[in-house]
Amino acid sequence: MAKITASVMAMIAVLLLSGGSGGAQDLQPTNDLRNPYRSVAPWGKLPEGRKWGALSAVAIDKDGESVWVADRCGANPDAPPGASPFQYDSCAGSKLDPVLKFDAAGNLLKSFGAGMFLFPHKIYIDRDGNVWVVDQRSGNERELAKYPADKNKGHAVVKFSPDGKVLMRFGTPGVAGNPPDALTQPTSVLVAPNGDIFISEGHNQNPDAPPDTVSRISRFAKNGRFIKSFGKFGTGPGEFRNAHDMAMDADGRLFVADRGNMRVQILDQDGKFLGEWKQFSRPSAVYIRGDTIYVGDSESNGVAPHPGWKRGIRIGSLKDGQVLYRIPDPQELKGTSGPEGLAVDAQGNVYGAEVGQRRLAKHMKQ
């Protein structure tokens, strides 16, 4: 038998990570899949008088059952009917706590963060139970005209203790720029087993955006020291058009929701391209628990730029990328945004943070 060389093994690994060598799963929409979940939405009991705002940030506590969210400070009364949640739902001028923790029954346990954020985008809980919140953008012209004091918010990531004490900050609030001193539109954060911190940056996915548009992942040491950035705006291997979310598997591989390129990219921790999965549709959220990958598609609507694909949460095998189930988006082909944030508890319940519907949904396996 011929000896299998290291280069051949590497090629096989890339083919497996890419979902095969151009098979039908890469080309055909994975819409017609079984949904073994029963959904409850909205889920979570808010204080009396408060309504959910646009929500794309949900995470599970280290206990495996409590649920953390960061919403955009309730429904915005200034938004006209049909207004974009991205433009109108924010914490500008709000005195509400955007960071909330619920028990497994949906009861509110604690909240904090009032006056600290403008546009909470993702939340992450590390193995010590610390809470990381991503404040994606700074105020737009309309918001700053009404609330000028909010100019020093956005483009930042904050690490809290479980009780809301600030432990570390990344970026200069209100200022877009480059590490180590600044970030540009951070979208997600995660912490590797060795303590290194990965922050994805850049929210622009317009194919006509200038080539110097920020779209990258920045890596920091546990103590906050900047290590490197990798990736750029583009469509090639290791390039992104809106790295909207990230997850890391047990082998330390990064799975990036490369939304504008309609793929999940798999990279090593130095940014080396390992493969891509397109069978999960147009990803806004990616989450890994055990040997299962969960991907939230919040933007497909059956037509351009992703014709034939429907929104929802696709669930598949982390081993080979096979898509097994789909939880349909409640509006399916209407509107523009569904589950932009995902988390899965120790019981296998899936939580979807829905921007357009402005709510948290809980999907329980039947």
Q: Is the pLDDT of residue 20 over 50?
A: no
Entry pTM: 0.92
- What are the beta bridge partners of residue 159? 132, 168
**Rounded Cα–Cα distance for residues 344 and 342 (Å):** 7
- Residue 257 main-chain phi, psi, to 5 deg: -75, 90
Helix, strand or coil for residue 312? Answer: strand
Number of CB atoms found within 10 A of residue 9's CB: 10
Lowest mean pLDDT across 140-154, 168-182, 325-339 = 325-339
**Rounded Cα–Cα distance for residues 210 and 199 (Å):** 22
Is the separation of the CB atoms in 128 and 62 below 8 Å? yes
Q: Is the pLDDT of residue 6 over 80?
A: no
pLDDT band for position 333 (cuts 50, 70, 90): low
Q: Is the pLDDT of residue 52 over 70?
A: yes
Q: Is the pLDDT of residue 25 over 70?
A: no
Residue 207 identity (one-letter amino acid): P
Angstrom distances, CA of residue 88 to CA of 81, 241, 340: 11, 23, 17
Query: Which residue ranges make up each domain of the chain?
Result: 52-365
User: Whole-number mean pLDDT of the chain?
Assistant: 91
In the predicted model, what is the mean pLDDT of residues 206-218? 96
DSSP assignments along 171-221, one per residue: SBTTBB--TTT-BSSEEEEEE-TTS-EEEEE-----TTS-TT---EEEEE-
55-73 tens-digit pLDDT:
999 999 999 999 999 999 9
* 52-365 CATH: 2.120.10.30
Q: Is the pLDDT of residue 337 over 90?
A: no
Helix, strand and coil content of the chain, in percent to the nearest 5, comes to 10, 35, 55
Looking at the chain, the whole-number percentage of residues with pLDDT higher than 90 is 81
- Residue 149 main-chain phi, psi, to 5 deg: -70, -15
Q: Is the pLDDT of residue 282 over 80?
A: yes
Looking at residue 21, its pLDDT comes to 32
pLDDT band for position 23 (cuts 50, 70, 90): very low
Is pLDDT larger for residue 18 or for residue 234? 234
Is pLDDT larger for residue 302 or for residue 254? 254
Q: Is the pLDDT of residue 15 over 50?
A: no
**Which strands make up the sheet holding 359-365, listed edge to edge?**
37-40, 359-365, 350-354, 339-344
